[in-house]
Chains A and B, each alone.
Chain A
Amino acid sequence: MSEVVRWRATITYRKTGRLRYLGHLDVARAMERAVRRAALPVAYSEGYNQRMRLSFGPPLPLGAEGEGEIVVATLTAKLPESEVLWRLGAQLPADLGVVTVTVEPAAGPTALNLIRTALWRMQLAAEPSLTRGELAQAAAAVMSAQQLALRDNDKVTDVRQGIVYVEAGSREAPLELTALLGASGHNYLSPDKLLRLLESLLPRPATLRWTRLVRVRFET
């Protein structure tokens, strides 16, 4: 098989509004169909099951929003970034809108390989209700700990290394939380696990759940 020059489009997009209720596979399919409608010169895998060469970042929990989600498309021809942005953007609703596009030769690690952390913002509901101070106390306990064990089914793991930082917001209602969490393949921590951990460190027993969850961006 002859070597062809390939290009790589790294696309960041939003997943907001009511489209936050779409699953990861639904979004992947919608994106693939948008790329086909836009008639971008995208590469396909070889073999019987031809698949469009698109790679996605880690899934968002169902119901969570994303402001800087990433998809990497392999292209068979070079296109100006503005043209990819324009053509693909025209095929997507605002709630799945394209934010940025970079096009470069397909060599070396992709943006997805370089992801180390994700910045999350969330609004919380506590049962029974908590004060901002109590939440901040639990967040501070996380930050000062060297190790933090979390029980998941029968497995107990140390999740401290998955937390770069976590801090409570300034409002009392709704309670807010900002966290920079591991988002790479070998060091991933979900916001739900963070909440389970915080529950165990609260000054009095309460359950926490997010009512709004936003993955603001990935960081390298």
Chain B
Amino acid sequence: MLADDVLLHVETPGRYVDGEINAVAKPHAKVRLALCYPDVYQVGMDHLGTLILYHVANSREEVAAERCFAPWPDFARALRELGQPLATLETRTPLRDCDLVGFTLQYELTYPTLLAMLEMGGVPARATERRGSEPIVIAGGPGATNPEPLAPFVDLFCIGDGEELLDELLARFEDLQEELGPRRKWGPKQREAALGALAEIEGVYWPAAYELEEVEGHLIPRGGLRAKGQVTARLVGNLESAPFPTAPPVPWVETVHNRGQLEIARGCTRGCRFCHAGMFYRPVRERSPQTLAKQAAELVNNTGYEELSLVALNCPDHRHIEQVIEAVQKAVMGRGVSLGLPSLRVDSFSVQLARKIAQVRRGGMTFAPEAGTQRLRDVINKNVTEQDLLTAVEAAFAAGWLTVKLYFMIGLPTETQEDVAEIGRLINHVASTGRTALGRKAGRMQINVSLAAFNPKPHTPFQWCGQAPREYLEEARARLRQTVRDPAVRLSFHDFGQSLVEAAISRGDRRIGRAIEAARRAGAYLDAWGEFFDLSRWQEALSQTGRTAQEWACRHIPVDAPLPWDIIHLGVTKQFLALEYEKALKGQTTPDCREGKCHSCGVSRRVIGCRGVLPEVLEA
């Protein structure tokens, strides 16, 4: 047991204190699953997916799902000095004593932290080094759609929506403990048998079962005796009946967002060509105003949260968004609860919605035009005009907002110097429009502009494109800083070094695993935090793969070449992605399929009525 005294000498000790309201501790459960988030508590506790899986797993009588987060370096050091392994919050079970250790893959730069958590928890990081009796390491989330970089470390990847998949996996694991005896006593044979049995579940990828073949410079997982071929992502058809946590653990300490979450819809079919989520979470599935009202009331009764946030990739796209807001507001009326509506599309309808709900508290309004010219916005299929943006900004200022946040990307495919220059002009235009709209309050206007390097993601129409080289990005940044001199505008650029590493990992093959391991050995930990990120460490680590970071991140891949992540099928076909890429290069847009015709993305082969209100998933 950890000496409590240690907590007197670490930063924010409250994050290591268990027993939060609604936390579930089952000391005598038959199966113990650690749900790990490879970042600190204050980041991980906001992750809705983890809360959903916590609820799903703990709903099984025999299963204890317990949370584990990455300790801040001061606490990690204290654990090491005391010889204490990293353990779960609920029952302080060391990771090495859990049956299953699961990670969510939200961001590539957290991968070394995943390795570090395994090491700190007493679990060998390499799958091949784990003995039969040691925990089975699983991973899911958006990052699992290219599992190859982490394949050396993860026993089984869970692809797609986790609600049903995790439940089935746990049920199978319970049976396996009967069939093969308790996990603690397994030898290599039993372990192999268990992995094979769990890999039979739809949506589970068992990387060790595949042989690798080098094709056109990439290691491609191909057949193997025990391999099952391409793995199709799981999909929850009906959100209405899907399990949802209305009694999640309530953090003691302040987390980044620190509020209750109501998932009003999943998926987006607007078809932005850079967007991984837009391809991963298809089709659009919605919850009804009635269900959401009920969940909102339960959430407030069970948590006491002072703020609820509606969650979706794009809240205003919910077909009944106005009724949703009305129903949820009514359900929590008089309880001193405010509503939040993040992720807004660029139009005045969104502003009206935000105005409706922001009666209690107001932050800034966020818009994401992503590119500076209409031509480039057409290329990326961001179907927004400059006029849309200006109208939305005007509406926001007219409604009383003083702060507006804008998102742009630089280094997009086909981007020219003119496109970059136009970002600057557009920002200045927004500022002058804002001044006129605000009149005598113009002095208090603030425009925060966030700019990031375009990051090509697997399973998107831009998966074949390279990231723009560092020198290009730096020059664009310098030029923008020169053009935008308005004192009300604050430009902030995402660290290009972090983007470079993110791009190198996200489209990598199994060799990237070696680099992640080398970076970890050289001390990489909590790299999403700028203060701990060290580019030279990563460049050194990546070069051990035989290619430099830049070569991985910036490479263009021929459209007909096999890809390391082809082994995963998300529902959207490769032909559709290729066609979208082709249309992008011609500057042709593809409208949202929910407003017109079907574009044959492939999802309709699996889901009946995928553009409708109640999509139904076909059995595989």
Contacts and interface: CB of A to CB of B under 8 A. Distances in A.
B18 A18 contact: yes
Nearest to B301: A37
A36 B304 CA distance: 5
Given A21-B13, A211-B5, A33 B21 contact: yes
B250 A18 contact: no
B303 interface: yes
B13 A63 contact: yes
Given A26-B253, A30-B252, A48-B362, A18 B17 contact: yes
Nearest to A18: B17
A93 to B, nearest CB: 6
Nearest to B10: A21
A36 B13 contact: no
A34 B22 CA distance: 12
Contact of B254 (A26, A35, A93): A26
A52 interface: yes
A93 B335 CA distance: 22
Contacts of A97: none
B361 A36 contact: no
A62 B356 CA distance: 40
Interface string A28-44: 01101111110100101
Nearest to A22: B14
Contacts of B305: 33, 36
A49 B361 contact: yes
Nearest to B19: A93
Contacts, number: 79
Given A49-B361, A211-B5, A25 B13 contact: no
Listed residue (B4, B7, B8, B360) with the most chain A CB atoms within 10 angstroms of its CB: B8
B306 interface: yes
Interface in B1-34: 4-5, 7-8, 12-14, 16-19, 21
Interface in A1-54: 18-19, 21-23, 25-26, 29-30, 32-37, 39, 42, 44, 48-50, 52
Contacts of B5: 211
A33 B306 contact: yes
B298 to A, nearest CB: 11
Contacts of B18: 18
A47 to B, nearest CB: 10
B549 to A, nearest CB: 40
Nearest to A62: B13
B336 A50 contact: yes
A167 interface: no
Interface in B273-301: 300-301
A25 B254 contact: yes
B548 interface: no
Given A48-B361, A49-B361, A62-B13, A21 B304 contact: no
Listed residue (B17, B18, B254, B305) with the most chain A CB atoms within 10 angstroms of its CB: B17
A91 interface: yes
A22 B254 CA distance: 10
Contacts of A211: 5
A104 interface: no
Given A25-B254, A26-B14, A63-B13, A18 B306 contact: no
Contact of A18 (B19, B335, B337): B19
A42 to B, nearest CB: 8
A37 B16 CA distance: 24
A33 B304 contact: yes
B544 interface: no
A40 to B, nearest CB: 11
Interface residues of A, number: 28
B543 interface: no
A22 B253 contact: yes
Contacts of A18: 4, 7, 17-19
A33 B250 contact: yes
B300 A36 contact: yes
A25 to B, nearest CB: 7
Contacts of A26: 14, 252-254
A81 interface: no
Listed residue (B305, B336, B360) with the most chain A CB atoms within 10 angstroms of its CB: B336
B303 A37 contact: yes
Nearest to B332: A36
Given A22-B252, A26-B14, A36-B300, A63 B7 contact: yes
B19 A95 contact: yes
Contact of B252 (A19, A35, A44, A50): A19
Interface in A82-98: 91, 93, 95
Contacts of B8: 21, 62-63
Nearest to B302: A37
Contacts of A49: 360-361
Interface string B310-337: 0000000000000000000000000111
B40 to A, nearest CB: 16
Contacts of B17: 18-19, 21-22
A29 B14 CA distance: 13
A21 B17 CA distance: 8
A29 B19 CA distance: 16
A36 B337 CA distance: 9
A172 to B, nearest CB: 20
B360 A48 contact: yes
A156 to B, nearest CB: 29
A36 B335 CA distance: 7
Interface in B229-270: 250, 252-254
28 contacts: A18-B7, A19-B19, A21-B7, A22-B17, A22-B253, A23-B253, A26-B14, A26-B254, A30-B252, A32-B304, A33-B305, A33-B306, A35-B304, A36-B305, A37-B303, A39-B301, A39-B335, A44-B336, A48-B361, A48-B362, A49-B360, A50-B336, A50-B338, A52-B306, A62-B8, A91-B21, A93-B19, A211-B5
Interface of B: 4-5, 7-8, 12-14, 16-19, 21, 250, 252-254, 300-306, 335-338, 360-362
Given A48-B360, A48-B362, 9 more contacts: A19-B17, A21-B13, A33-B21, A36-B305, A37-B304, A50-B360, A50-B361, A52-B306, A62-B8
Query: Top 5 closest A-B pairs, CB basis?
Result: A33-B304, A36-B304, A21-B13, A37-B304, A22-B14
